[in-house]
Amino acid sequence: MDKVNIAFNIINIFITASWLILAWKTLQEIKKDREEMYRPFLRIKLKRVSFNYSEKESEWIFLENIGYRFAKNIKIKLKISEEILKDYGRDENKIINFIEIPGENIYIRDELDYILDILDPKEKYFFEYIENNSKRIISICNLMIKKQFENLGKAENGVFELELKDIVLFNIDVSYQDVLNKNYNEKYKLKLMITEIGSFSKEGFNLVNLPLKLEI
């Protein structure tokens, strides 16, 4: 009888412990859901997923707070991608500070930092730096494709493979805090989807309805 009672007590302890663990996990999930519900969510969005080189584009890429609380101490770093900088970045004192736009005698900063004090729910912040320089960076992408076609005639034995891959235009790093000083960080890549462009020639690619994509 004693052994039966001992076994019964052990089973009760096991069941009670299991229920306690389950209750604790449930409370943690509720806490997490509540924190997610009341935290700020900063997301970068594209107003459209294509870009027309010949048209004046504005307010098409922006940071928006889609959460229910304000975000604070927002730090944004915008940087032209390394694959573009390696060929067109200007080296000053061994540090690439700006990029040369071929044929225009224009130089633009290769990266910029922004600080925003607060971004309220549903409030937007537009990336003017990207909007103002996208045409120039895309023109460089076009030159990169042209160079590949120029190499067609230089290839040994007439063998040359055209390397078509999506090109990262800008890297975007966003960090911020909620009201309780909890830190958040997201990294984005704005890509020109070369692999989705229909046709190419020695002049590069068609500059109408260029497909863009944001990747996290």
Task: Mark whether 129 and 147 lie in a shared domain.
Answer: yes
Binned at pLDDT 50, 70 and 90, residue 101 comes out as confident
Task: Mark whether 24 and 58 lie in a shared domain.
Answer: no
Query: In what helix (H) or strand (E) does residue 204 lie, and over which residues does it extend?
Result: strand 204-205
Task: Mark whether 52 and 103 lie in a shared domain.
Answer: yes
Chain mean pLDDT for the chain: 81
User: Are 179 and 114 spatial neighbours (Cβ–Cβ below 8 Å)?
Assistant: no
Task: Mark whether 13 and 73 lie in a shared domain.
Answer: no
Task: Mark whether 58 and 26 lie in a shared domain.
Answer: no
In terms of phi and psi (left: phi > 0; alpha: psi -120 to 50; beta: otherwise), the region of 170 is beta
Task: Mark whether 49 and 59 lie in a shared domain.
Answer: yes
pLDDT in tens, 1-52: 566 666 666 777 777 777 777 766 766 666 666 666 778 999 999 987 788 8
Beta bridge partners of residue 79, listed in sequence order: 111, 171
Closest CA relative to residue 176, chosen from 64, 66, 40, 79:
40
Task: Mark whether 65 and 117 lie in a shared domain.
Answer: yes
Binned at pLDDT 50, 70 and 90, residue 78 comes out as very high
Phi, psi torsion values for 87, nearest 5 degrees: -105, -25
- The tally of domains found in the chain comes to 2
Task: Mark whether 123 and 21 lie in a shared domain.
Answer: no
pLDDT of residue 4: 63
Task: Mark whether 170 and 137 lie in a shared domain.
Answer: yes
pLDDT of residue 162: 64
Q: Which residues are CB-neighbours of 15 under 8 A, at least 6 positions away?
A: none
Residue 142 predicted with pLDDT over 70 = yes
Whole-Å CA distances, 72 to 66, 176, 177:
14, 6, 5
Specify the range with the lowest mean pLDDT, choosing from 133-142, 145-154, 180-189, 205-214.
Answer: 145-154
Task: Mark whether 142 and 205 lie in a shared domain.
Answer: yes
Task: Mark whether 113 and 31 lie in a shared domain.
Answer: no
Residue 160 predicted with pLDDT over 60 = no
Phi, psi torsion values for 113, nearest 5 degrees: -115, 135
Specify the range with the lowest mean pLDDT, choosing from 17-21, 58-62, 88-92, 207-211.
Answer: 88-92
Beta bridge partners of residue 111, listed in sequence order: 79
How far apart are the C-alpha atoms of 68 and 77, rounded to whole Å? 24
Residue type, 214: L
Please give the DSSP secondary-structure letter assigned to residue 196.
Answer: G
Task: Mark whether 110 and 123 lie in a shared domain.
Answer: yes
pTM of the full predicted structure? 0.77
What is the sign of the dihedral through the CA atoms of 193, 199, 201 and 206? negative
Beta bridge partners of residue 200, listed in sequence order: 205
Structural domain range at position 165: 40-215
Residue 97 predicted with pLDDT over 80 = no
Which tops the pLDDT comparison, 125 or 149?
125
